[in-house]
Amino acid sequence: MTILNKYFNAAYNTAPFSKIKTEDFLPAFKIAIEKAKAEIDAIVKNTEAPTFENTIETLDYSGEELDRISSIFFNLNSAETNDEIQETAQEVSPLLSEFSNDITLNEDLFKRVKVVYEKKSNLDLTTEQNTLLDKKYKSFSRNGANLEEAKKEKLREIDKELSQLKLKFGEHILAETNAFEMLLTNENELSGLPDGAKEAAKQMAESKGKDGWLITLDYPSYIPFMTYADNRVLRERLSKAFGSKGFKGDELDNQQIVLKITNLRNERAQLLGYKTHAHFVLEERMAETPSNVEKFLNELLEKAKPAAKNEFKNLEVFAKELDGINQLQKWDSAYYSEKLKQKLFSLDDEQLKPYFKLESVINGAFTVAEKLFGLRFEEIDTIGKYHEDVLTYKVIDDSGDLVSVFYADFFPRAGKRNGAWMTSFKPQMIKNGHNHRPHISIVCNFTKPTSTKPSLLTFNEVTTLFHEFGHALHGMLANTTYPSLSGTNVYWDFVELPSQILENWCYEEETLKLFATHYETGDVIPMDLIEKIKASSTFHEGMQTLRQLSFGMLDMAWHGNESPQNTTSVKDFETKAFAGTNLYPDVAENCMSTAFAHIFQGGYSSGYYSYKWAEVLDADAFEYFKEEGIFNKKVANKFKTFVLSQGGTENPMTLYKRFRGQEPKPEALLRRAGLIK
């Protein structure tokens, strides 16, 4: 009996969280790795001549059990971790890295793949099969299959060390986030803070057995304090605590880890014949080369910087007039921006939050998905959860057929990292004539309900939920044959299109009237508030663009040149990378790189630019919806057919042009941002 048959007998073959103990994972991984190795051996030892079916296709379907266990374990390590899980992760990661190398460095397996690849012009393959063949061949050739033995061993060592360093980086950040507490016992110190934020802080203190109000580095606590708290000294303290994660020279310091990761990535790339890690990564991206990324970022910088400098100057004048502030600091940014926005638009998040009860926003996202793609979401309680806060749904189409299982996890807790993300517990694929439907999850960190109020979202949190839900739709509506090409398995600079385009619906009256109702009165959000939301949508867009560009440029600085190998100071390197985008004075105690989880823990190394890249796509795509109607079925069906369902089966630009009828035009983004007329 396999592990999957033993454990995965719940409804819809869902993950049996209640049956799994942490100590089960390590032996399960070892068994699944051995089974996957046997599947690879069977391909290698097949006495028949290599064909697409007996080599490429069989290889893509192999390791299903291992993939399932990995997705469950590493999702728990992000959303519901503990010391035991983290220790297991440190044991498991080298095993998985070694197994991955066992495949890509297997000469006999590569020979069979190469035989099929070299005769592909004579094979009658579908577009998807051709893509899979190219991808499988490159997964070997780009990862050391052609190296001599000594270099292969070096590659194994590097990959093993990188897998452990990335885990350690994330563990340090989570530990730092959990360790910081700012307990306030004088209510005057909370001046300016909205009642809901004060109540949440009080509730947090009580949960820890403390008197007063507890402020933490979790986003639902940190963001309101930085935005509304009048006490500048406390904002500074909180800001410096947030900005110094991994940068204190203690046992949780990430500086050496950053240097080791960047140097190992470059060493790995050069071992494989590439100039830098970015050259290696971008070969398989729409952008193609580091120089193209740098050109893209600099062109946007040229457009955004004048606007950003002007916005910053106006903010400085405003802060001086209001409070006599002579030098704006980073801990002033959100506070005075919010005050200025209130002055210019008579709008603030506290006005909007009563209309964005979490349950209503969730239903709003579901309604948008139904109107666009014919999906219906039914909450179910027949499948396992990894935490009581998790919501579970069955997703069906117009015919009543199962489209997906959907998990949603919205509140912060000690075992959960900050931020928001979409992930998968089970991929979509068509195998033996059966279309296996995916299990998709989104994870966020929103304010929990209090004793007097439900969870009320800021408008930024509303767009975050829609963003992650857009990723989820990409996963749910996948309809490809092979798991490695399914759902979000696309070029990294294309993956943000489905998420970012869905954010656009949050600004439309037609959408807001579907779900933005006052949590107490049931009144629909007033038209004047909708107009203010739209009017303020480009507020400080220049500064926001500059901020995003600075992150992309820092990423490319670490990964797009060889200089990190000669770097000894993470802070000095970062300061130089930020030189062209800085508006605020530097804070000596702070360093972004040591907590930049996207690129040092997640999958965004050499890819952070993709957020802006995809904004060009989403702005252009949404103009098409606007032209035809934001719920136009014809346009929605084209987006579903040519983008959401296709995964990575074709070049993304080909898919985009099939949907849009043209290549994307950057002017759409600049128009939306108010940077051009």
pLDDT digits (tens, 9 = 90+) for 30-88: 999 999 999 999 999 999 999 999 999 999 999 999 999 999 999 999 999 999 999 99
Angle at 464 between CA 462 and CA 465, to 5 degrees: 65
List the structure tokens of 342: 């209130």
pLDDT at residue 670, rounded to an integer: 86
> Tell me, what's the pLDDT at 22?
95
Residue 194 to residue 182: CA distance in whole angstroms: 17
CATH for the 254-345+540-677 domain, from 3.90.1150.10, 1.10.1370.10, 1.10.3720.10, 3.40.50.300: 1.10.1370.10
Q: Residues 520-565: pLDDT tens digits?
A: 999 999 999 999 999 999 999 999 999 999 999 999 999 998 766 6
Q: How far apart are CA 350 and CA 185, in angstroms?
A: 24
d(CA 235, CA 176) in angstroms, rounded, equals 18
The reply to whether domains 3-146 and 354-539 share a CATH topology is no
The sign of the dihedral angle between the CA atoms of 23, 26, 29, 35 is negative
The identity of residue 646, as a single letter, is: Q
Residue 454 has what DSSP assignment?
-
- The CA–CA distances, whole Å, from 253 to 180, 265, 536, 587, 589 equal 15, 20, 39, 17, 13
The dihedral region occupied by 542, where left means phi > 0, alpha psi between -120 and 50, and beta the remainder, is alpha
Q: Where are the domains of the chain?
A: 3-146, 180-243, 254-345+540-677, 354-539
DSSP string, 414-431: TTS-SS-EEEEEE--EEE
For residue 419, give every residue at least 6 positions away whose Cβ sits within 8 Å of its Cβ, in sequence order, or none: 219, 445, 597
Decide if 417 contacts 78 (C-beta within 8 A): yes
Instruction: Give the tens place of pLDDT for each residue, 573-628.
Output: 999 999 999 999 999 999 999 999 999 998 999 999 999 999 999 999 999 999 99
Architecture of domain 354-539: Orthogonal Bundle (1.10)
Q: What is the pLDDT of residue 7?
A: 64
Q: What are phi and psi of 418, to 5 degrees?
A: -70, 165
Structure tokens at 447: 């304010």
Per annotation, catalytic residue among 171, 311, 468, 496: 468
Low-confidence residues of the chain: pLDDT under 70: 1-9, 563-565
Residues whose CB falls within 8 Å of the CB of residue 162, separated by 6 or more in sequence, listed in order: 97, 261, 264, 265, 268
Alpha carbon 267 to its chain centroid, in Å, reads: 26
Phi/psi region, residue 209 (left: phi>0; alpha: psi -120 to 50; beta: rest), is left
Q: What is the dotted CATH code of the domain comprising 3-146?
A: 1.20.1050.40
Q: Cβ(599)–Cβ(605) under 8 Å?
A: yes
**What's the pTM?**
0.92
Q: Using DSSP bridges, classify how beta strands 439-443 and 402-409 pair: parallel, antiparallel or unpaired.
A: parallel
Rg (CA), the chain: 25
Strand pairing partners for 440?
406, 424
| pLDDT, position 11 | 78
Catalytic residue check, 206: no
- What's residue 673's pLDDT? 86
